Amino acid sequence: MHFSIEELYASQTAKAKGIDNKPDFPSLINLVYLCAYVLEPLRVAMNEPIKIGSGYRCPKLNAAVGGVSNSQHMKGQAVDLCIDGDLKKGKKWFAYIRDHLPFDQLIWEHNPKTGSYWVHVSFVYPDFGKNRRNVIDLLEKK
Protein backbone atom coordinates (compact mmCIF):
# COMPACT_ATOMS: atom_id res chain seq x y z
CA MET A 1 0.00 0.00 0.00
CA HIS A 2 1.43 3.35 -1.09
CA PHE A 3 -0.92 5.60 0.93
CA SER A 4 -1.17 6.44 4.58
CA ILE A 5 -4.43 7.30 6.27
CA GLU A 6 -2.97 10.69 7.27
CA GLU A 7 -2.57 11.64 3.60
CA LEU A 8 -6.29 11.10 3.14
CA TYR A 9 -7.34 13.71 5.68
CA ALA A 10 -4.39 16.11 5.93
CA SER A 11 -5.33 19.69 5.10
CA GLN A 12 -3.38 22.95 5.07
CA THR A 13 -6.61 24.88 5.53
CA ALA A 14 -7.62 22.79 8.55
CA LYS A 15 -4.17 23.33 10.05
CA ALA A 16 -4.24 27.09 9.40
CA LYS A 17 -7.74 27.47 10.81
CA GLY A 18 -7.27 25.10 13.75
CA ILE A 19 -9.97 22.70 12.52
CA ASP A 20 -9.75 19.13 13.84
CA ASN A 21 -10.23 17.20 10.60
CA LYS A 22 -9.87 13.64 11.91
CA PRO A 23 -12.43 11.39 10.20
CA ASP A 24 -15.16 9.69 12.21
CA PHE A 25 -15.25 5.89 12.04
CA PRO A 26 -17.68 5.49 9.09
CA SER A 27 -15.65 8.01 7.07
CA LEU A 28 -12.46 6.20 7.98
CA ILE A 29 -13.90 2.95 6.62
CA ASN A 30 -14.94 4.70 3.40
CA LEU A 31 -11.44 6.13 2.98
CA VAL A 32 -9.94 2.67 3.34
CA TYR A 33 -12.27 1.29 0.65
CA LEU A 34 -11.58 4.23 -1.66
CA CYS A 35 -7.90 3.56 -1.23
CA ALA A 36 -8.18 -0.20 -1.76
CA TYR A 37 -10.50 -0.07 -4.80
CA VAL A 38 -9.37 3.09 -6.61
CA LEU A 39 -6.24 4.85 -5.33
CA GLU A 40 -3.93 1.89 -4.84
CA PRO A 41 -4.86 0.19 -8.15
CA LEU A 42 -4.32 3.55 -9.91
CA ARG A 43 -0.98 4.03 -8.16
CA VAL A 44 0.20 0.55 -9.16
CA ALA A 45 -0.95 0.90 -12.79
CA MET A 46 0.58 4.38 -13.25
CA ASN A 47 3.74 3.47 -11.36
CA GLU A 48 4.25 7.06 -10.21
CA PRO A 49 3.42 9.01 -7.05
CA ILE A 50 -0.21 10.07 -6.66
CA LYS A 51 -0.57 13.16 -4.48
CA ILE A 52 -3.84 13.78 -2.66
CA GLY A 53 -4.86 17.45 -2.79
CA SER A 54 -7.96 17.05 -0.64
CA GLY A 55 -9.48 13.92 0.88
CA TYR A 56 -11.77 13.72 3.87
CA ARG A 57 -13.30 17.02 5.00
CA CYS A 58 -15.27 17.44 8.18
CA PRO A 59 -18.31 19.74 7.65
CA LYS A 60 -16.42 22.73 9.06
CA LEU A 61 -13.48 22.24 6.70
CA ASN A 62 -15.78 21.57 3.76
CA ALA A 63 -17.50 24.90 4.37
CA ALA A 64 -14.13 26.64 4.79
CA VAL A 65 -12.91 25.45 1.36
CA GLY A 66 -16.22 26.20 -0.37
CA GLY A 67 -17.21 22.56 -0.96
CA VAL A 68 -20.79 21.76 -1.98
CA SER A 69 -23.09 21.07 0.97
CA ASN A 70 -23.62 17.37 0.12
CA SER A 71 -19.96 16.76 -0.77
CA GLN A 72 -18.81 13.14 -0.72
CA HIS A 73 -15.57 14.48 0.79
CA MET A 74 -17.52 14.74 4.07
CA LYS A 75 -18.20 11.00 4.06
CA GLY A 76 -14.66 9.97 3.18
CA GLN A 77 -15.91 8.81 -0.22
CA ALA A 78 -14.05 11.33 -2.37
CA VAL A 79 -10.54 12.62 -2.99
CA ASP A 80 -9.03 15.24 -5.27
CA LEU A 81 -5.87 14.11 -7.02
CA CYS A 82 -3.26 16.83 -7.28
CA ILE A 83 -1.73 16.98 -10.76
CA ASP A 84 0.68 19.90 -10.17
CA GLY A 85 -0.23 21.56 -13.46
CA ASP A 86 0.70 18.48 -15.50
CA LEU A 87 -2.46 18.20 -17.60
CA LYS A 88 -1.15 15.28 -19.64
CA LYS A 89 -0.56 13.26 -16.48
CA GLY A 90 -3.96 14.26 -15.07
CA LYS A 91 -5.76 13.25 -18.26
CA LYS A 92 -3.96 9.91 -18.19
CA TRP A 93 -5.09 9.23 -14.60
CA PHE A 94 -8.63 10.36 -15.48
CA ALA A 95 -8.79 8.02 -18.48
CA TYR A 96 -7.39 5.11 -16.52
CA ILE A 97 -9.97 5.46 -13.75
CA ARG A 98 -12.78 5.89 -16.30
CA ASP A 99 -11.77 2.83 -18.31
CA HIS A 100 -10.50 0.41 -15.68
CA LEU A 101 -11.65 1.16 -12.16
CA PRO A 102 -14.88 1.27 -10.17
CA PHE A 103 -16.06 4.75 -9.16
CA ASP A 104 -19.17 6.72 -8.32
CA GLN A 105 -18.24 10.09 -9.77
CA LEU A 106 -15.21 11.16 -11.79
CA ILE A 107 -14.71 14.86 -12.47
CA TRP A 108 -12.06 16.86 -14.29
CA GLU A 109 -12.20 20.05 -12.24
CA HIS A 110 -10.84 23.50 -12.94
CA ASN A 111 -10.63 26.60 -10.83
CA PRO A 112 -10.53 29.54 -13.26
CA LYS A 113 -9.42 31.89 -10.45
CA THR A 114 -6.23 29.97 -9.67
CA GLY A 115 -5.89 28.25 -13.05
CA SER A 116 -5.41 24.87 -11.40
CA TYR A 117 -6.86 21.56 -12.52
CA TRP A 118 -7.43 18.38 -10.51
CA VAL A 119 -9.17 15.02 -10.72
CA HIS A 120 -12.04 14.43 -8.29
CA VAL A 121 -12.96 10.78 -7.82
CA SER A 122 -15.46 9.20 -5.47
CA PHE A 123 -16.25 5.59 -4.63
CA VAL A 124 -19.02 3.97 -2.63
CA TYR A 125 -18.36 0.53 -1.21
CA PRO A 126 -20.98 -1.64 -2.98
CA ASP A 127 -22.57 -2.85 0.28
CA PHE A 128 -23.20 0.80 1.22
CA GLY A 129 -24.73 2.06 -2.04
CA LYS A 130 -24.52 2.21 -5.80
CA ASN A 131 -21.62 3.48 -7.90
CA ARG A 132 -23.21 5.62 -10.63
CA ARG A 133 -20.15 5.82 -12.89
CA ASN A 134 -20.95 9.46 -13.51
CA VAL A 135 -18.22 11.16 -15.61
CA ILE A 136 -17.96 14.94 -15.91
CA ASP A 137 -15.34 16.00 -18.46
CA LEU A 138 -15.06 19.57 -17.21
CA LEU A 139 -16.44 21.28 -14.15
CA GLU A 140 -15.55 24.91 -13.49
CA LYS A 141 -15.37 25.67 -9.80
CA LYS A 142 -17.27 28.84 -8.89
Task: Rank residues 19 and 67 by Cβ distance to Zn ion and give the closer one.
Answer: 67
Taking residues 26 to 65 in sequence order and writing x for each that binds Zn ion by CB under 5 A, - otherwise, the string is ----------------------------------------
Is residue 75 within the footprint of Zn ion (CB under 5 A)?
A: no
Q: How far is the CB of 136 from Zn ion (least distance, A)?
A: 11
Q: Please select the residue that binds Zn ion; options are 31, 76, 120, 121, rule is CB under 5 A.
A: 120
Q: What are the CB-based long-range contacts (under 8 Å, 24+) for 3-6? A: 3/35, 3/39, 3/40, 3/43, 3/50, 3/52, 5/31, 5/32
Task: Rank residues 75 and 120 by Cβ distance to Zn ion and give the closer one.
Answer: 120
Q: Under 8 Å CB-to-CB from 136, ≥6 apart: which residues?
A: 105, 106, 107, 108
**Residue 106, CA atoms < 13 Å, CB-side half-sphere:** 23
Burial of 1 (0-12, 13-18, 19+ CB in 10 A): exposed
Contacting range for Zn ion; rule: CB under 5 A; set: 4-12, 28-36, 57-65, 120-128:
120-128
Task: Rank residues 40 and 80 by Cβ distance to Zn ion and give the closer one.
Answer: 80
Is residue 80 within the footprint of Zn ion (CB under 5 A)?
A: yes
What is the contact surface with Zn ion in residues (CB under 5 A)?
80, 120
